[in-house]
Chains A and B, each alone.
Chain A
């Protein structure tokens, strides 16, 4: 591929191609329109774009699918920005978990409206209008009722159980959609030729765990992995065979057993820029698929060197 041309920044963009759940625009029983709001992303802690549906009853996440060098023709117009934006329903509990767990350190039961708020993101308190959130709070917190008032205390155990059910549910969808989750995930055609691998079930679990991890903190992600009975993978395993440029010979001999060294900078694979969220997760899972490769090859090098 030729070197990328310098492109002028695309600043005057005023149009977006989206694929949105029908309910985003269907729900016109309420007078209010759906709104795009910025809320704290539970995984990154940074601002992300969400949509609160009509009357704030439903939360949607906004994810852009982006490939380099793409543009749209829409009717008789050109749109330079080639992104495709997905607006999909999202469980508001994912955004409430960080609020509750932050206040959990105090260990007291608190009323929701004191907890579900964020000075930086004023729309945060609107999450309390999402009916599904209020009805399912017991999945992530202990409840206490004093007279007519309800108080909540974050429960990590409950939350992990709830997340585990999400993982199981996601595995079901993955299987139903026949989405390939193993090492050959980059090419569906390739995978179909392969016999079903023994590790497929684990591949599904890891893939689903990766997906869910985009909605939770790193700590919860690690705890969930443990709860699922999946060991944390330390070595970098990539889809491709160990690249020649790794120059194993440059590594000191003792590096062979020390997999943590593989986490070094030259092993971190640059993710492709324009992957979808699902693919990003795929890539994550991918890396873990090649355990045997590096362990097979490394000792041989050691032997040769001696």
Chain B
């Protein structure tokens, strides 16, 4: 754990020239970080039935759904380019890709409104409710 005094700078200007990338939340842990041929072996085999998507991944049937970011929110993938050599150092992250919607996948079960990630998307508006009062009283 790094010291409480260090900060991590979010290089905001990097957002402008960032490409959009499709983002999938997979229902399994993949013990790897790095490049993979996602479009060739995963995206290419997904099928759309109405709003539900299906795909076979490693022999397991996955059912998925697209989920938009809440209004006023953008998906940002932040990446640390240079690892700090000590925990006393300030750090920098850049926006490596941007997304407006993500696709989440369930193992076997069809996507529905009880899926925790769907409920998680309610959080920003709730948080706004908790915060917003100060402004209402001010204006």
Choice from A63, A75, A90 contacting B21 with Cβ under 8 Å: A75
Q: Decide yes or no whether A234 CB sits under 8 A from chain B.
A: no
**Given A80-B31, A136-B134, A187-B114: A22 touches B74 (CB 8 Å cut-off):** yes
In the complex, the chain A residue whose C-beta lies closest to that of B124 is A88
List A contacts of B93 (CB < 8 A).
16, 36
Give Cα distance in the complex from A212 to B77, angstroms.
Answer: 29
Interface of A is mostly: mixed
The 8 A CB mask of B66-94 against A (1 = contact, 0 = none) is 00011011111111100100000000010
List A contacts of B121 (CB < 8 A).
19
A136–B137 CB distance below 8 A: yes
Q: Decide yes or no whether A28 CB sits under 8 A from chain B.
A: yes
**Given A36-B7, A91-B131, A212-B130: A19 touches B70 (CB 8 Å cut-off):** yes
Q: Known contacts A18-B77, A75-B23, A77-B34; can you find 15 more A-B pairs with CB under 8 A?
A: A13-B33, A14-B83, A36-B10, A38-B4, A69-B27, A69-B29, A75-B21, A75-B97, A76-B38, A80-B32, A132-B138, A166-B133, A169-B132, A169-B133, A277-B123
Q: Interface residues of B, CB < 8 Å — how many?
A: 73
A78 to chain B, nearest CB (A): 5
B128–A25 CB distance below 8 A: no
Give Cα distance in the complex from A170 to B122, angstroms.
Answer: 13
B22–A170 CB distance below 8 A: no
**Given A74-B97, A84-B25, A139-B134: A33 touches B77 (CB 8 Å cut-off):** no
Q: Decide yes or no whether A232 CB sits under 8 A from chain B.
A: no
List B contacts of A21 (CB < 8 A).
72-73, 124
List A contacts of B125 (CB < 8 A).
173, 177
Give Cα distance in the complex from A78 to B136, angstroms.
Answer: 43
Choice from A70, A122, A172 contacting B4 with Cβ under 8 Å: A122
List A contacts of B78 (CB < 8 A).
15-16, 18
A106 to chain B, nearest CB (A): 26
B74 to chain A, nearest CB (A): 6
B8–A169 CB distance below 8 A: no
Q: Decide yes or no whether B24 CB sits under 8 A from chain A.
A: yes
B96–A76 CB distance below 8 A: no
Which of B24, B77, B137 is the most central at the interface, judged by chain A CB atoms within 10 Å of its CB? Answer: B77
Q: Decide yes or no whether B44 CB sits under 8 A from chain A.
A: no
B95–A25 CB distance below 8 A: yes
Interface of B is mostly: mixed
List A contacts of B76 (CB < 8 A).
18-20, 25
Q: Interface residues of A, CB < 8 Å — how many?
A: 82
**Top 9 A-B pairs, shortest CB-CB distance:** A75-B21, A173-B129, A88-B127, A36-B8, A73-B24, A71-B30, A65-B120, A136-B134, A14-B80
Choice from A19, A61, A80, A135 contacting B30 with Cβ under 8 Å: A80
Interface set, chain A 1-47, CB cutoff 8 A to B = 7-8, 12-22, 24-25, 27-28, 33-38, 47
Choice from A33, A38, A123, A189 contacting B114 with Cβ under 8 Å: A189
A91–B134 CB distance below 8 A: yes
In the complex, the chain A residue whose C-beta lies closest to that of B32 is A78
Give Cα distance in the complex from A34 to B78, angstroms.
Answer: 13
Choice from A7, A19, A69 contacting B124 with Cβ under 8 Å: A19
Interface set, chain B 97-134, CB cutoff 8 A to A = 97, 112-114, 116-117, 119-134
Give Cα distance in the complex from A33 to B78, angstroms.
Answer: 14
The 8 A CB mask of A49-85 against B (1 = contact, 0 = none) is 0010010000001010101111111111111101010
